[in-house]
Structure 1
Amino acid sequence: MTAKIAVVGGGYGGTAVAKALDEEADVVLIEPRDAFVHNVAALRALVDPSWTDEIFFPYDGLLKRGIVVRDRAARADESGVTLGSGERIEADYLVLATGSGYPFPAKVDVDDSAAAKAALRATRDALTGAERVLLLGAGPTGLELAGEIKAMWPGKAVTIVDPAEDVVTGDYPDEFRAELRAQLDAMGVELLLGTSLREAPPTTPGRAETFTAVTRSGRKVTADIWFRCYGVVPNSGYLAGGLAGSRRPDGQVEVGPDLCLPGRPRVFAIGDLAALPEAKRAGAAGRHAEVVAQNIRALIAGGDPVATYAPSPPGIALPLGPSGGASYWADDGVLGAEKTSEIKGAHLMTGRFRDLFGLS
């Protein structure tokens, strides 16, 4: 009999592992959205109307043999998944790939692609009419959003507030941060670091409404719109039975080098869900998927999992609009705007997903 594999979550990791095993097993991909969302390009889709439709990829062309079940996992245990509808999907192998939540617009927060596009358009309209923009968070998302806004509307005033003493905390060299600060300064982005707001803005994020906020250092900031650019939350609340014991207080799931949950050789976790000491990136989720696909193939053949995953060293490509930004990789060092644009900024890696979903 053909092995049955339930993949929970149709993001970067889930789609990759489902595609990899589609011809060798009965794959069921469980995903509440009607289309894959290429979150890497979501901020470009916010500011540039020509990109809004380009980040959504229908699941119809992903699998040839397997099926995509549009529903949410209400409960997952070692033997399968109970859906929000009440339907039960039993499986020989389980891949947990439900990723994480993050404030809009870096990640869309609705399951229907038409509604998500409408939300992006409405927020773009609000942003278009705003003269002053406040961003809370000087991590990769805050800087990237600032770069997209200034590239599209150079005349807008953009202020970033963060309690950290520098941009993009993490194990990156000072030269990388200095390059980002220099480009942001040239764009006219104001950085208020080492402080935070005394109170949250009185308006809804992404909605045009003028207000004045005060930082703890006493600086008044008047803005017409603001966005929250921090707050990753792993989506793991559906884990039940023995699987719940692998869930850490921060919501991530413990995994071994083979990406199995401890003591659960037929249950794997990948992507943002996996508690691995590395940055949560789409590329990492894809590499997790390769390891899991190899190990499930080995188990189906009657062997033991042999593929292991070593967390990647610190690395990042951070665009500031289509032609700006900086990158850092251990082998290459710090790369400036031109190279960053070639790597990510201009195309935002959309081509590979057109191939994956059969749209090329």
Structure 2
Amino acid sequence: MNHHNRLPHLLVIGGGFAGLWATRVLAGAPLRITLLDRSNHHLFQPLLYQVATAGLSAPDIAAPLRHILRRQRNVEVRLGEATSIDPARRQVVLADGTALDFDYLLLASGATHAYFGNDHWAGHAPGLKSLDDALHLRRRLLLAFERAEACTDPGERAAWLSFAIVGGGPTGVELAGTLAEIARHTLKDEFRHIDPASARVRLVEAGPRVLASFPEELSHRARRQLEKLGVEVSTGVPVTAIDGAGYRLGDVFVPARTVVWAAGVAASPLARSLGVPLDRAGRVPVEPDLSVPGQPHVFVAGDLAAVKQANGAAVPGVAPAAKQMGRHVAVAIRARLQGANARPFRYRDFGNLATIGRMAAVVDLHGFKLSGLLAWWFWLAAHVFFLIGFRNRLVVLLNWAWAYWSYQRAARIILGKGGDGERPPAKPE
């Protein structure tokens, strides 16, 4: 038995910001690390909507985990899906029936879409969490214009040209603004029977304002910028039904062939097998060092962890928070290896950013507020800086510069076969 196999084994579930950052910080630690993920890539999720709206292609915002970690000798990457955790036996069971043992576990499997008890809406209103989601959504958006072009019935054509984004958080706002830009500018002069600019893009938020996590003043500016782009913003009335023909806003039915869900997330169901009480969203209320109550060898980070800040507010489900948690878990595990306890996790909030579309964004850095063009440049710099690989940064910058000057969106290729924008049925192997 070689020395490597005698080292304590850390199993990290999820190659997102929390899991990957923890793994990288533990590069020189006396540990065997297995990083388990359902997909083979790390995804820069804040730019997922750019793939969905054809501004960037998938490789611009994703990098293979094996490539990122190729020089880190204490890590093995494993492709697979964890289905349950047995904390007492220190084992994780995978979908293929195999089990992985661990000495330490970091659960960072993130969140998925939550339809607030209306899971039957999922087929009609896809969400945006993975590259598969983004490519599916891109296909639906582009196909809608194609279907409208081929329509002879005015009512049917209007329904194909009606788009609704449900949820006025950053993802919803970014999607709505970009979609309006595509309809008004990118597709101009490309169709013979329709005017893409007549497409109706509506952002629906059940609460009183969009971007509720931002100061009220920036919310109002964001709304004005969206309306200037041609987005109809509806607040204060919830969506009460969604089907293949459209959606119901309060009591009014709106025919729309493309509805996108950006309204809510639920924690990964893996947390249930830890056997500890979860919060309403299914997240794990963790100890101050991010370990699970009563299970000091199990840690939770990222969207799956329910963590309070010093002021009592919840730590938000954003990339910087997930990175900080991942880094903290790495420090805590190093401390455990030396028989010490880690200090409590402290979230450093660097502020809030959202882009609204071409040359418009809002930035809130603790009272320092920006909106419009300056905010857009700030947003662009921040996102390009945080992309993982240097190659990606350059490609993203070039693609963006081109899209900006020409209004063209390079990734406008419809991929895959299937019905009217529905997910194609899975073929038997």
Range class of TM-score, shorter chain = 0.7 to 0.9
What is the one-letter code of the residue matched to 1:10? G
Give the CA deviation at 1:286. 0.2
Alignment counterpart, residue 161 of structure 1, candidates 184, 193, 204: 204
Give the CA deviation at 1:138. 1.8
Aligned to 2:264, what secondary structure does the other structure show? coil
Cα distance in 1 between the residues matched to 2:164 and 2:321: 31
Counterpart check, 1:119 vs 2:128:
no
The equivalent residue for 1:215 is: 249
The equivalent residue for 1:13 is: 18
Alignment counterpart, residue 58 of structure 1, candidates 47, 64, 71: 64
Normalised by the length of structure 1, the TM-score is 0.85
What is the one-letter code of the residue matched to 2:212? T
Aligned to 2:234, what secondary structure does the other structure show? strand
Aligned to 1:248, what secondary structure does the other structure show? coil
Cα distance in 1 between the residues matched to 2:386 and 2:320: 14
Give the CA deviation at 1:302. 2.4
The equivalent residue for 2:296 is: 265
What is the one-letter code of the residue matched to 1:271? G
**Deviations for 1:128-148, whole angstroms, at most 9, x for unmatched residues?**
445321122222221111111
Alignment counterpart, residue 175 of structure 2, candidates 126, 135, 145: 145
CA gap of 1:310–1:173, structure 2 versus 1, over 3 A, is: same
Give the CA deviation at 1:29. 0.5
Aligned counterparts, 1:35-46, within 5 A: 35-46=41-52
The equivalent residue for 2:345 is: 309
Give the CA deviation at 1:18. 1.3
Aligned to 2:33, what secondary structure does the other structure show? strand
The equivalent residue for 2:424 is: none
**Deviations for 1:121-169, whole angstroms, at most 9, x for unmatched residues?**
5234225445321122222221111111123332232112222121122
Give the CA deviation at 1:349. 3.5
Cα distance in 2 between the residues matched to 1:49 and 1:338: 19
CA gap of 1:278–1:118, structure 2 versus 1, over 3 A, is: closer
Cα distance in 1 between the residues matched to 2:104 and 2:393: 26
Alignment counterpart, residue 360 of structure 2, candidates 305, 316, 324: 324
CA contact (8 A) 2:80 2:94 kept: yes
Cα distance in 1 between the residues matched to 2:112 and 2:325: 19
The equivalent residue for 1:194 is: 236
CA gap of 1:2–1:237, structure 2 versus 1, over 3 A, is: closer
Cα distance in 2 between the residues matched to 1:213 and 1:87: 43
CA contact (8 A) 2:48 2:131 kept: no
**Deviations for 1:281-300, whole angstroms, at most 9, x for unmatched residues?**
01100000111111111111
CA contact (8 A) 1:42 1:105 kept: no
CA contact (8 A) 2:41 2:65 kept: yes
CA contact (8 A) 2:14 2:109 kept: yes
Report which of the two structures shows the higher radius of gyration computed on alpha carbons: 2
Give the CA deviation at 1:109. 7.2
Cα distance in 2 between the residues matched to 1:259 and 1:126: 44
Aligned to 1:343, what secondary structure does the other structure show? helix
Cα distance in 1 between the residues matched to 2:266 and 2:232: 28
Give the CA deviation at 1:248. 3.1
Structure 1, unmatched stretches of 5+, are 111-115, 204-210
Counterpart check, 1:228 vs 2:239:
no
CA gap of 1:197–1:87, structure 2 versus 1, over 3 A, is: closer
Give the CA deviation at 1:85. 1.8
CA contact (8 A) 2:362 2:369 kept: yes
Between Structure 1 and Structure 2, how many residues are aligned?
341
Cα distance in 2 between the residues matched to 1:69 and 1:173: 42
Structure 2, unmatched stretches of 5+, are 1-5, 114-121, 147-159, 185-196, 308-313, 396-429
Give the CA deviation at 1:346. 6.6
Cα distance in 1 between the residues matched to 2:347 and 2:382: 26
CA contact (8 A) 1:61 1:358 kept: no
Cα distance in 2 between the residues matched to 1:359 and 1:181: 31
The equivalent residue for 2:84 is: 75
CA gap of 1:28–1:355, structure 2 versus 1, over 3 A, is: farther
The equivalent residue for 2:306 is: 275
CA gap of 1:352–1:136, structure 2 versus 1, over 3 A, is: closer
The equivalent residue for 1:208 is: none
Q: Which moved more, 1:286-295 or 1:122-131?
A: 122-131
